[in-house]
Amino acid sequence: MSVLTQELSHNAGSLGRIRASELWLPGLASLLLVAGMLYVVAFDQGSLASLVTTRLMESGGVLHEFFHDARHLLGVPCH
């Protein structure tokens, strides 16, 4: 067995072992990201997006329409 093959097999064995205690930070970050996106799309009513879209409203409000359509896609009433 060559040195490269031994090194690759050693690294592959260590990559397969992930403890549950190592997953709490990525899990929490994912949960916060999903919760933040759900808030912005479903409950924000465009006030947070208006910080970004005031310039874009002059060019047709594409970002506003994206969020509006996303609300309808999720089944959130907005009218």
Summarize the confidence of residues 4-19 as an average pLDDT.
61
Summarize the confidence of residues 18-40 as an average pLDDT.
87
Task: Provide the mean pLDDT of the chain.
Answer: 74
| 77 vs 73 pLDDT, higher one | 73
Q: Is the pLDDT of residue 44 over 60?
A: yes
Chain centroid to CA 73: 17
Q: Is the pLDDT of residue 32 over 90?
A: yes
Identify the pLDDT of residue 66.
79
Query: What DSSP state is assigned to residue 75?
Result: T
Distance CA 62, CA 77 (A): 20
- Using pLDDT thresholds of 50, 70 and 90, give the confidence band for residue 30: very high
Q: Is the pLDDT of residue 19 over 70?
A: yes
